Amino acid sequence: METQFVGEHLLPGQLGHFFAILAFVASLVATIAYFRTVQIKEVTLQTSWKRLARWSFIIQVASVFAVFGLLYFVLYNHYFEYKYVWRNSSRDLPVSYLLASFWADQEGSFLLWSVWHSVLGVVLICTAKKWEAPVMTVLSFAQFCLASMLIGIYIFNYRVGSNPFLLLRLAEENQAAPIFSQPNYLSFIKDGNGLNILLQNYWMVIHPPVLFLGFASTIIPFAYAFAALWTRDYTSWIKPALPWTLFATMILGTGIMMGAAWAYESLTFGGYWAWDPVENASLVPWLTLVAGLHTLLAYKHTGHALKSTFFFFTISFILILYSTFLTRSGVLGETSVHSFTDLGMSGQLLVYMGVFVIPAFTLFFLRRKEIPTKNKEESTYSREFWMFVGALVLLIAAIQITFTTSIPVWNKLFKLNMAPPLEPEFHYNKIQIWIAIVIGVLTAVIQYLKYKDTEKRFFTKRIMLPLVASLVITVLIGWFGTITYDKYGAGFLVAIYIMLFASVFAVVANLSYLLLILKGKMKVAGASVAHIGFGLVLLGILISSSKSEVISLDRMRMLDGGFFGKESKQNPRENLMLPRGLQVQMGEYYVTYVGDSTAPGDAKTYYVVNYERKDKKTGEITEKFTLYPDAFVNNKMGGLTPNPSSRHYLTRDIFTHVTAVPIKDDGSSDTAQYSSHVIQQGDSIYFSNGFMVLKGLDTKPQNKNYVPKAGDLAVGAQVEVFSKNNDQYNLQPVYYIRDSSYQNNVEDTVAPLALYVRFSKILPNENKVELQVKESGTFKDYIVLKAIVFPYINVLWGGIVIMIIGFIMSIFQRLKR
């Protein structure tokens, strides 16, 4: 007799799986029908096939949205009988993060991708006109491939895809577990596994949808290019493809930059970009898509670079598929902090990539001689020539990033043992900085060149003003900004100054072109505005990186000796221990760790850190603010997953995050004992990290832990402490007599040295006192903090916004035409 399980909600899962299979079948039918529409020339049959294709695609769209809605429904209602719900959510998860849990795993991210394809497909059906059938054939087939990732059925003993509605008890790893043989197993499952703590950030609610829209939209320029090769119509696709190319470039770039903002606010990269393999995997297709956009513009105006445009659009979409394989096959598991683990779909992902790579490049190779080509060479004073050069430079950048990012792939494929670079930042920057220089200069110059040819005198006259102005501004920034970034040697500093000029030149030249050449006509200024934004992005990256300053310097070397462990990449000299309640100078600020707090339903611990800035002459406080860096703390495992907190100024950010906290215990681990010392005024007591001197006695003692009462007889011992690092502290332990007989003392502490001092006795006959000293081996109330100042980081964020505005202006400009 079949076991009847209590409390399961099976209908949503059954409906969800049904609609996933329906989407799979409908997308296959749409692919075949659109394919037949292209192949058949008889008008009546062509119309019938197109009608079938459209209805099939619409059914597919409805099915995809149904799957989306049902999956969100089971997540929202915490139906933990479903593996996806149990694995990615919990009851205490705020509703705002339920969407983040939706696309936290592979099935949800594939579904999100498919949703965007569906939306874009409907728009294409309404607007593509004669290109609808060939373009939608490609898009429908992509939907068929994505749908196969979600059906989770076995075909000839091979599981195709992964069903997001799989019951927890039916998962292969759980079938042998005794709990799942009990009809009431759900009564033992009180909560889910919870959302990955790195994803519990508001950026993860908005960043993935934008990024996946970028991924999805790259298929449209590719589909137009493939359709042109397929139908042998090599020219008329350019006009409808151009707005889509601008849109795809804008959205993908926006998604990448949102990821940078997430890293800046959530990950402890120490900034917005760390050349993480997952970051690289999304950046590379954007670089080649930008290259394709510019070769497309070159062809549109001159007839040159059409083959290059086919190549760049094809490679951009293929690189999107390759990045999907890298991030979802598990191959980057040891080199990236936010890649997916392998769910057994690596082979399927390779097939997905192969079914597009092989036909696309085969067709391109077979039809390459038919693609129109101008035999006349471009003038070196033509816009299209330097556009093509820029595209090649971007291709070089993409090759370098892809090769290094793919080291785990090369190792598995060719049985190699290559190690990823020990310093990824330097490895990429030493090449990419020269790429940025060339692109920055080309961004400045190209606007002043005409298509086909430019009179040298005309070009020289117009470029001279922004060139001279850029040189002057560069010198002023370099002089007054005192850029001294010598982390990688003097040669790299030279590259920094050259990039500074290239960035300034890109901004000034395009601004000058907008004002003097275009006369401020914003309707046709989309490219200039986008280039100004790009120049500001380069400038913001340069200044915020080269002038960034770590202010949390451990001058006392308290964290030396392996504090972070042998495997840690943290530099102990760039992390500062903040004992609770002790004010510590950090750069121009005085910082105090006040304490920590938690909130019901929030797994994070928030650390309260007060910042003060004081006038150097008077000592008066000129500024006060509080930062709340937080972290997920696992005391049992000793784990810490921090989130930064930043103080935002117009000209800089103070980026702060916690790098270590003590493991809380019951206090039994502290076995240090007090040692007694009988001394008189002027005597010294030595301890492991320095010595202390008794300077005298104070009959009106001041100690934050001593609360005087009427009738107290109290004396404080004035003690100066000197550490081995020449740091000096003042202590005043108190000895008091209360109610004529009760004797007690109040200790004082040097928290950074874990030093405790008691005033235990007064020996009047000997004119001496007894002090008791303890060096604790387990100082328990502190945080370790890393703080970085990023100057002019808003230049970067502002540049991104301006660049997006420029793309939007260009899209509207092209649509109107």
Helix (H, G, I), strand (E, B) or coil at 590: strand
Summary mean pLDDT of the chain = 87
Spatial separation of the C-alpha atoms in residues 652 and 656, rounded to whole Å: 13
Whole-angstrom CA distances from 237 to 220, 251, 428, 512, 667 are 11, 21, 37, 34, 74
CB atoms within 10 A of CB 365: 9
What are the pLDDT digits (tens) for 85-135?
A: 999 998 888 888 888 898 888 899 999 999 999 999 999 999 999 999 999
Q: Is the pLDDT of residue 5 over 90?
A: no
Is residue 217 classed as helix, strand or coil in its secondary structure?
helix
Q: Which residue has the higher pLDDT, 170 or 342?
A: 170
* Phi, psi of 430, rounded to the nearest 5 degrees: -65, -25
Q: What pLDDT score does 442 carry?
A: 96
- Label residue 696 left, alpha or beta by phi (over 0 means left) and psi (-120 to 50 means alpha): left
- Highest mean pLDDT of the ranges 81-90, 92-101, 682-691, 744-753: 81-90
Q: Using a pLDDT cut of 90, give the percent of the chain over it.
A: 50
Choose from 114-128, 185-199, 416-430 the range with maximum mean pLDDT. Answer: 114-128
Question: What b/e string do you get for 98-109 counting C-beta neighbours within 10 Å, with b at 16 or more?
Answer: bbbbbbbbbbbb
Whether 780 shows a pLDDT value over 70: the answer reads: no
Tokens of 570: 């943290």
Q: Which tokens in the block code for residue 301?
A: 């105006």
Q: Write the pLDDT tens digit of every residue in 344-365.
A: 557 788 888 899 999 999 999 9
Altogether, the residues listed in the chain come to a count of 817
Residue spans per domain, the chain: 1-200, 222-420, 447-547+792-817, 572-662+782-791, 675-775
Q: What's the average model confidence in pLDDT over 619-635?
A: 85
Q: What is the pLDDT of residue 554?
A: 83
Could you give the C-alpha distances from 700 to 682, 732, 736, 743, 760, in angstroms and in order? 20, 11, 11, 17, 17
Residue located via tokens 């006040």 = 594
Q: Which residues pair with 623 in a beta bridge?
A: 613
Confidence of residue 561 (pLDDT cuts 50, 70, 90): low
- Long-range CB contacts (within 8 A, 24+) of 594-600: 594/626, 596/783
For helices 132-148 and 346-367, angle between their N-to-C axes, nearest 10 degrees: 160
Q: Is the pLDDT of residue 340 over 60?
A: no
Task: Work out the average pLDDT over 44-62.
Answer: 96
Query: What percent of the chain is predicted at pLDDT more than 70?
Result: 91
Are 309 and 318 within 8 A, CB to CB? no
- pLDDT interval class at 197 (50, 70, 90): confident
**Mean pLDDT calculated for residue range 161-174:** 87
Cα distances (angstroms) measured from residue 173 to each of 31, 46, 178, 180: 36, 50, 12, 11
Which of 80-89, 126-135, 150-159, 790-799 has the least mean pLDDT? 150-159
Beta-carbon contacts of 194 under 8 Å, excluding residues fewer than 6 positions away, are 88, 89, 90, 92, 93, 603
CB burial string 215-236: b at 16+ within 10 A, e below: bbbbbbbbbbbbbbbbeeebee
Alpha-carbon distance of 18 to 153, in angstroms, equals 12
Residue 20 near residue 151 (C-beta atoms within 8 A)? yes
Helix (H) or strand (E) holding 814: helix 793-816
| Amino acid type, 309 | T
At 785 the three-state DSSP class reads strand
Tell me the per-residue pLDDT of 210-265, one tens digit each, with 9 for 90 and over: 999 999 999 999 999 999 999 999 999 999 999 999 999 999 999 999 988 888 87
CA of residue 352 relative to chain centroid, distance:
27
> Given the DSSP bridges, would you call strands 630-634 and 639-643 parallel, antiparallel or unpaired?
antiparallel
* Predicted local distance difference test score (pLDDT) of residue 122: 97
pLDDT of 638 over the 50 cut: no
Q: What is the mean pLDDT of residues 389-403?
A: 95
pLDDT value at residue 802: 96
**How high is the pLDDT of residue 332?**
67
Cβ proximity of 89 and 75 under 8 Å: yes
pLDDT at 755: 85
Instruction: Please give the distance of CA 765 from its chain centroid, rounded to a whole number.
Output: 69
